Amino acid sequence: MHRFDPANRDRLLSEQRHQLMPPGRILDLLPLLPDAIVGDIGCGPGFFTLPLAERVPQGRVYAVDVEPVMLQAVQERADGAGLANIQTILSTEQSMPLSPASLDGAFLALVYHEFGDRAAYLGMLRQVVRPAGWLALLEWEKRQNPYGGPPLDARIGPEQVATELGAAGWRVTARHAPNEWMYLLLAELTPIGG
């Protein structure tokens, strides 16, 4: 498990990061409706949170993170942008204070590799996402690149992620390559026992 150092949070909003993964192009891949309620899980300083909130003007984005400093950055940026449909949520890896079936979808950007017990976390997400809801998971390909990211041995390839999603009750419905260094998997909940 490799955890990002929150002291480096400004790197998560850099121009280089915007060029590598333009939020608009990645969010175009998600099944977003204007009134959707979405969890940005492991939101960091809100690289995707604010663009998500703009896409769901009648909805809400829950910015979820384990680091209070990241949530403070999200709130400051949301206030500065005049976005009132973002709510920050402090979580732990073992608990997420969201009501059962409260999300239409969950978005995890470059954070899945940080979870210690990924199966338990996917099970927790299954509880907070509504039946027929979705999960979008953006991760680094398991190869070296010029943009950084976690060490290679901390990265998880898309096939392994798809297997882990399936074991936790999610069915992968699409795989995208938003750039040559990352992949995005879309999944939907499968009926329990199905």
CATH number at residue 149: 3.40.50.150
- Is 8 a residue whose pLDDT tops 80? no
pLDDT of residue 12: 59
- Asked whether residue 181 is assigned to any structural domain, the reply reads yes
- Is 149 a residue whose pLDDT tops 70? yes
pLDDT tens for each residue of 86-140: 999 999 888 899 999 999 999 999 999 989 899 999 999 999 999 989 999 999 9
pLDDT of residue 21: 82
The range of the structural domain enclosing residue 98 comes to 6-189
Map 125-186 to HEC letters. Answer: HHHHEEEEEEEEEEEECCCCCCCCCCCHHHCCCHHHHHHHHHHCCEEEEEEEEEECCEEEEE
pLDDT of residue 121: 93
- Asked whether residue 1 is assigned to any structural domain, the reply reads no
pTM for this entry: 0.89
Percent of the chain with pLDDT over 90: 72
Work out the mean pLDDT of the chain and round it to a whole number: 89
* pLDDT interval class at 145 (50, 70, 90): confident
Summarize the confidence of residues 139-160 as an average pLDDT: 86
Q: For residue 103, give both structure tokens.
A: 């999300």
Name the one residue in this structure whose structure tokens are 């979008």. Answer: 136
- Asked whether residue 11 is assigned to any structural domain, the reply reads yes
pLDDT of residue 18: 58
- Asked whether residue 194 is assigned to any structural domain, the reply reads no
pLDDT of residue 84: 97
Summarize the confidence of residues 6-12 as an average pLDDT: 58
Number of domains in the chain: 1
pLDDT of residue 193: 53
**CA 149 to CA 143: how far, in whole Å?**
10
pLDDT of residue 190: 79
Summarize the confidence of residues 16-45 as an average pLDDT: 90
> Is there a contact between 121 and 94 (Cβ–Cβ < 8 Å)?
no
**CA 43 to CA 71: how far, in whole Å?**
8
- Asked whether residue 160 is assigned to any structural domain, the reply reads yes
pLDDT of residue 23: 92
- Asked whether residue 150 is assigned to any structural domain, the reply reads yes
- Asked whether residue 36 is assigned to any structural domain, the reply reads yes
CA torsion sign for 113, 136, 95, 167 is: negative
pLDDT of residue 70: 92
pLDDT tens for each residue of 73-90: 999 999 999 999 999 999
